[in-house]
Amino acid sequence: MTGTAATDHRIACPGGDLFARRWRPVGAAETAPAIVLVHDSLGCVDLWRDFPPALAAATGLDVVAYDRLGFGQSAAHPGRLALDFMADEARRFMPLLLQGLGITTAIPFGHSVGGAMAIETAAALPDRCAAVVTIAAQAFVEDRTVAGISAARDQFAAPEQVARLARYHGAKARWVLDAWIDTWLAPGFAAWSLDTTLPRLRRPVLAIHGDRDEYGSAVHPRRIADLAGGVGRAVLLADCGHVPHREQPARVLDEVTRFLKGV
């Protein structure tokens, strides 16, 4: 997209390097906050597609997307995901990412499970975060979430579906798929929620959700907004599924831009 310049980075972390890409709008102030995109359970930098440069152009802020350990162009994960992997991402990896990229103030912006990680980040690093944006985030393990993942497990039993993931994750594709399905369907994960984290969130939060999201009902954005310790706003998009930034990008960009102008 015109008006933005993209640069690739490698961030040294325990267990292996993380890959990150940064989009900087022409004329952006280096002291301004940077939006940090946190991908979903099957995602990576490339699967954000053209959304990051569009977001940078719309907001005038730097936008950073990175591959979590085990995903995309980052190093392979050394083992299984822990049941507290969302909070662990905020505690262990996010500080190293921000330090490695020289980001003083961040706006964590997460899709799906990345939304929970964005909330965990702002709660764990309140002095480093100015606001939070979530898209299609889950706040607890809902029956609809379990049903959606169970249906996806059957769909991904087809070899060609794993091959599609391999285009983005290479040899790590099988691990990526198993990490998503095995974690969310594990009996020990059924009690997970953001209920104790959200009250510690002191920064404004915007929770965007589609009314046809197959992995979570409208209760999630409302719960995020209602339980947040700071100002919370929930936006429900009509006729929209689990990927609002791809299905209704103009509406998402408008909502995010207006929200950040008020922060």
Please indicate whether residue 160 or residue 208 has the higher confidence score (pLDDT). 208
Bridge pairing between strands 232-237 and 18-25? unpaired
pLDDT surpasses 90 at 163: yes
The answer to whether residues 162 and 138 touch, using CB atoms and an 8 Å cutoff, is no
Going by C-beta distance under 8 Å and a sequence separation of 6 or more, which residues neighbour residue 232?
204, 205, 207, 224, 225, 226
**pTM (global) more than 0.75:** yes
* Total domain count, the chain: 1
Going by C-beta distance under 8 Å and a sequence separation of 6 or more, which residues neighbour residue 225?
205, 207, 232, 233, 234
The answer to whether residues 139 and 217 touch, using CB atoms and an 8 Å cutoff, is no
- Chain position carrying tokens 């799906």: 112
| Residues 116, 221: Cα–Cα separation, whole Å | 11
Choice among 2-16, 62-76, 82-96, 127-141 with the minimum mean pLDDT: 2-16
pLDDT surpasses 70 at 98: yes
pLDDT, position 120: 98
CATH number for the domain including 169? 3.40.50.1820
Residue 193: which of 138, 124, 112 has the closest Cα? 138
| Average pLDDT estimate for 184-195 | 97
| Residues 33, 152: Cα–Cα separation, whole Å | 36
| Residues 60, 55: Cα–Cα separation, whole Å | 8
pLDDT surpasses 80 at 2: no
Confidence of residue 1 (pLDDT cuts 50, 70, 90): very low
Q: pLDDT tens, 195-246?
A: 999 999 999 999 999 999 999 999 999 999 999 999 999 999 999 999 999 9
For the chain, what percent of residues have pLDDT higher than 70? 99
Q: Could you write out the DSSP letters of every residue in 226-260?
A: HH-SS-EEEEEETT--S-HHHHSHHHHHHHHHHHH
Identity of residue 246: R
pLDDT, position 202: 94
| Residues 97, 79: Cα–Cα separation, whole Å | 21
Choice among 17-21, 107-111, 154-158, 240-244 with the minimum mean pLDDT: 154-158
Dihedral (CA of 202, 111, 13, 85) sign: positive
Range of the domain at 42: 4-261
